Structure 1
Amino acid sequence: MFKVHKTDGRARLGQMTLAHGVVNTPIFMPVGTVGSVKSLVPEDLKTLGAEIILGNTYHLYLRPGLDVIRHFNGLHKFIQWDKPILTDSGGFQIFSLGQLRKITEEGCVFQSHIDGKKINLTPELAVEIQETIGADIHMVLDECTPYPATPEEAKHSMERSLRWAKRCREVKSRDELWQFGIVQGGMYHDLRKQSLEGLGELGFEGFSIGGLSVGEPKPAMRETTDFCCEHLPEDKPRYLMGVGTPLDIIESVNYGVDMFDCVMPTRNGRNGTLFTSLGKVNIKNQKHQFDESPLDPECSCYTCQNFSRSYLRHLFIAKEITALRLLTLHNLTYYLHLIHDIRDAIREDRFQDLLKHHQQLWDK
C-alpha cells in the first residue's frame, strides 16, 4: 500500500507498506549492488537511518548466483538485512556493456564481465531472479535508451521496453512483492507519454523514470522528470533511477518524485569528495593538512564527531581502508539527513525555502 499523507506544492510526503516493513517517502536508497554497501555493514546502515537498500539483478545473478540465494531463502537472510530491498532489473548494466551485448526481441545476450560466459537475460528471467532474491520492489527489464538518440531510435527502444514490461507483468507470481514499470522514451515528450499510457494499463504497483543520468544536459533531465511526474498517477510511488546530486534530489522532489538511488555518496566518499552543509569538500587538498575542524560542523555522524579533516586527509593519502569507511559513513549520513530535512520541510509547509537554500548552496 502507498499513501500520500501531505503535499507542499508538488512535493509529497508519503509511506509505502512493503513485505519487509514500512518505508517513508521521499526516500534515498543506498546502493548495495552485490548485496553490500561498500565498506559498511547492515548495522551501520540501520544506525544511519536507512529504510531500504538497493541490489542489482545483473550482478547478483552472476555472483553469488541463484543457487546460493535460494539456499538462504532470499537475499535478506543471506546479507542479514531485515528491512526492504529494491532491485534494478539489470537494464542499465546491459546498456553499459556496450560491445559485450546484443539486444533482440527475446531479451539481451551478453558476456559476463567476470568469466566471459554468454547469458541470455529475458524479461521472464529478470522476474525470476528478482522474485528469488525476494526484492520487496523489483523492476521490469527495460532497454535503457542512450543519449543522444534520434526520435526513431527512442521510439523503437521505448516500444520494445513496453513489450518487455508486459511480459514481466504476465509472469509475476509473488503477490507480496511489488513490481515497477519503467518509463522510457528518451528526451521526447510524446514518446514518454506513450510509455506512460502503455505502462498504466498493466497495473504496476509503482513507476520508475528511466533513461536519465545517461549523459544528457541537466536541464533536459529536469524537464523530462517534470513532464513524467505531471502525467504519472497520484496514487503510485515515483522512482527516479540513478539520480543523483543533492540538488538533483531536492529539485526532483519539487516535481513530485518519491524515491532515489545513486552511487554518488558512496563512490565520491571513496574518491575523497564529501558533501557537507558548506558545500563540497575535497579531502585530498593540501589546505586540510593541519585542519583541526570536522568535515561538517553541522553533522552528527561518527566521522564528524570524532575526527579532524587533517586526520581524514592523512588516512586517505595513506590509502588506509579506514578512510573509505569513515568518508562513506559521512556522505550517506549527509544524504539521509537531507531526506529527513526534505520530509520535515514538506510537513511544515516550508519546502520552497529549503529548495532555495540548496539551490544557492550547490549552484555556487
Structure 2
Amino acid sequence: MKFTLQAKDKLSRARAGEIETAHGTIKTPIFMPVGTAGTVKAVHQHELVNDIQAQIILGNTYHLYLRPGLDVIQKAGGLHQFINWDRPMLTDSGGYQVYSLTEVRKIKEEGVTFRSHIDGSKHLFTPENVMDTQRIIGADIIMAFDECTPYPCDYQYARRSLDMTHRWLKRCCDRFDSTEPLYGYDQTLFPIVQGSVYKDLREKSAETIASFNREGNAIGGLSVGEPAEEMYAMTEVVTNILPVDKPRYLMGVGTPVNLLENIALGIDMFDCVMPTRNARNGMLFTQKGIINIKNEKWKDDFSPIDPDSDLLVDRLHTKAYLRHLIKSQEILGAQIASLHNLHFYLWLVGQAREKIIDGTFYDWKNSMVKILDQRL
C-alpha cells in the first residue's frame, strides 16, 4: 500500500490524498460503505460501483467468520471473489462486535472467548487467529485485534485495556509479518489507537501505535456514546501525534457533520452503518438537512426525493412514493433510501476533497455544518 498526500487546507488540518492498493486507488478523504456479511445491506454491487461510485467497502471479520465461514470464503478464493467485488476492501478485526457481546464474552490476556449470536456455540478470538482469519478473507487493509472500551469507562479499566491492546498489537504484527497473503496480492495491517476519552491515555496509545511504523493507523473507541465534543477532542489529540504521511482511519463515524469536523482534524477514512441503517428507518440525509420520510408532511409531496442529487432514483421517484414504501415496509423503500444516503455520504466527502484541493474547505465546512443537522 502507498499513501500520497496531495493537498492540505491552510486553515485546518484537512488533507486530500490517494491510497494505492492491489485492487485500485482510493481518493481521500473517503467514506467506506459497511458490508458487514459480504453485502452492503439493500444495495447491489453494481449499484455501489455505478450509482454510488464507492471506491472501497468494509467487511466484518466476526460475522464472516461465523457465516458463511472461513472454509467457504477460502474455497471461493477470498471475499473479493466470493462477492464479485474487484475494488479495495477493508476488514475490521471483530473486536468491536465482541465488545458489544457483553453478556456472552470473556476477555483474557490470551484473547476473547465468546458465544455466537447465531447458535450459541463457543469461540475464541486471539490476536494470532484473527490475523489468520483476515488472511483468509483477503481484504486489502486489515485491522489489528483490540479491545474497544465502553462509554463511560473507568480510568483504571481504560488504562489496563489499553496496555493489553498494545500487547495484542505486538502479537498481531508478529503473526502478520510471519505469514504470507493467500491470493497473490499484498495486504496491509493498521493498528488501532484506544484510550477512551482520557487525554493522557490517547497520547500514550497514539505514540505507541506510531512506533510500530505500519503503513496506516486507525482510531477506535469513539462514537460509542460519548458527546461529539469529546470525540473531536480525542481525535485532535491523536492526529497531533500520528504521522502525517500515513492515512488515518476513524472507525465507526458517523453523522455527516461528524465527517466534516473530523476531516478538518486530519482524518482520511471513515465507515459507519448510519447511512444504511437510518435509511431503512426512513431517515434521509440531504444537502439541505435531514428528512424523516415517515412524517405526515411528505404523504402527498410529489416532488423528487432529492432534486439536488444526480442519483437517478432521487429524481425518478417522489417523496410521497418513498414514504409509502417505507411505511409499508416494502424492500424497495430500503433499497432507494440506502442508495440515496450512501450516495450523499460519498458526495459529501468528494466535495470535501475538492474544497481542500482548491483551498476553500474551511469556510465551506463551516457553512455546511450549520445546514446538515437541520430537520426538514
- With normalisation by structure 2, the TM-score equals 0.95
Between 1 and 2, higher relative CO (CA 8 Å, sep ≥ 6) is seen in: 2
Contact 1:278 1:296 in 2 (8 A): no
In structure 2, which of residues 16, 24, 45 is the aligned counterpart of residue 13 of structure 1?
16
1:314, distance to aligned residue in structure 2 (A): 1.1
Whether 1:253 and 2:266 are equivalent positions in the alignment is no
- List alignment gaps of at least 5 residues for structure 1: none
Find the counterpart in structure 1 of residue 44 from structure 2: 41
Distance 1:308 1:363, change over 3 A: closer
Q: 3-state DSSP class of the match of 2:4?
A: strand
Letter in 2 for 1:61: Y
Regions of 4+ moved over 4 Å: none
CA distance in 1, matches of 2:69, 2:327: 36
In structure 1, which of residues 58, 62, 65 is the aligned counterpart of residue 62 of structure 2?
58
Q: 3-state DSSP class of the match of 2:345?
A: helix
CA distance in 2, matches of 1:119, 1:50: 33
Q: Over residues 156-187 of structure 1, what are the superposed CA-to-partner deviations in whole Å (9 max), with x where a residue is unaligned?
A: 01000000011000011237111000001111
Counterparts of 1:18-167 in structure 2, within 5 Å, are 18-47=21-50, 48-167=52-171
CA distance in 2, matches of 1:203, 1:346: 27
Contact 1:144 1:211 in 2 (8 A): yes
| RMSD of aligned residue pairs (Cα, Å) | 1.0
1:290, distance to aligned residue in structure 2 (A): 1.0
Whether 1:341 and 2:351 are equivalent positions in the alignment is yes
CA distance in 1, matches of 2:236, 2:44: 36
Find the counterpart in structure 2 of residue 317 from structure 1: 327
CA distance in 2, matches of 1:66, 1:31: 19
Q: 3-state DSSP class of the match of 2:270?
A: strand
Letter in 2 for 1:51: Q
Q: 3-state DSSP class of the match of 1:179?
A: strand
Q: Over residues 90-148 of structure 1, what are the superposed CA-to-partner deviations in whole Å (9 max), with x where a residue is unaligned?
A: 11001100110000000000000011000000000111111111110000000001111
CA distance in 1, matches of 2:238, 2:206: 8
Letter in 1 for 2:20: T
Contact 2:14 2:264 in 1 (8 A): yes
Contact 1:3 1:235 in 2 (8 A): yes
CA distance in 1, matches of 2:335, 2:90: 23
1:363, distance to aligned residue in structure 2 (A): 4.8
- With normalisation by structure 1, the TM-score equals 0.98
Q: 3-state DSSP class of the match of 1:149?
A: coil
Contact 1:276 1:295 in 2 (8 A): no
CA distance in 1, matches of 2:327, 2:237: 44
- List alignment gaps of at least 5 residues for structure 2: none
Letter in 2 for 1:293: S
CA distance in 2, matches of 1:167, 1:104: 14
Percent of residue pairs bearing the same amino acid type: 50
Letter in 1 for 2:297: K
1:302, distance to aligned residue in structure 2 (A): 2.1
CA distance in 2, matches of 1:250, 1:63: 35
In structure 2, which of residues 269, 280, 284 is the aligned counterpart of residue 274 of structure 1?
284
Letter in 2 for 1:323: G
Letter in 2 for 1:210: G
Q: Over residues 6-57 of structure 1, what are the superposed CA-to-partner deviations in whole Å (9 max), with x where a residue is unaligned?
A: 1013101000111211111100000000000011111000011100000000
Whether 1:296 and 2:306 are equivalent positions in the alignment is yes
Contact 1:108 1:120 in 2 (8 A): yes
Q: 3-state DSSP class of the match of 2:20?
A: strand
1:295, distance to aligned residue in structure 2 (A): 2.1
CA distance in 2, matches of 1:283, 1:363: 15
Find the counterpart in structure 1 of residue 199 from structure 2: 189
Find the counterpart in structure 2 of residue 4 from structure 1: 5
In structure 1, which of residues 206, 209, 212 is the aligned counterpart of residue 216 of structure 2?
206
CA distance in 2, matches of 1:226, 1:148: 20
1:203, distance to aligned residue in structure 2 (A): 2.5
Greater CA deviation, 25-34 or 283-292? 283-292
1:358, distance to aligned residue in structure 2 (A): 1.6
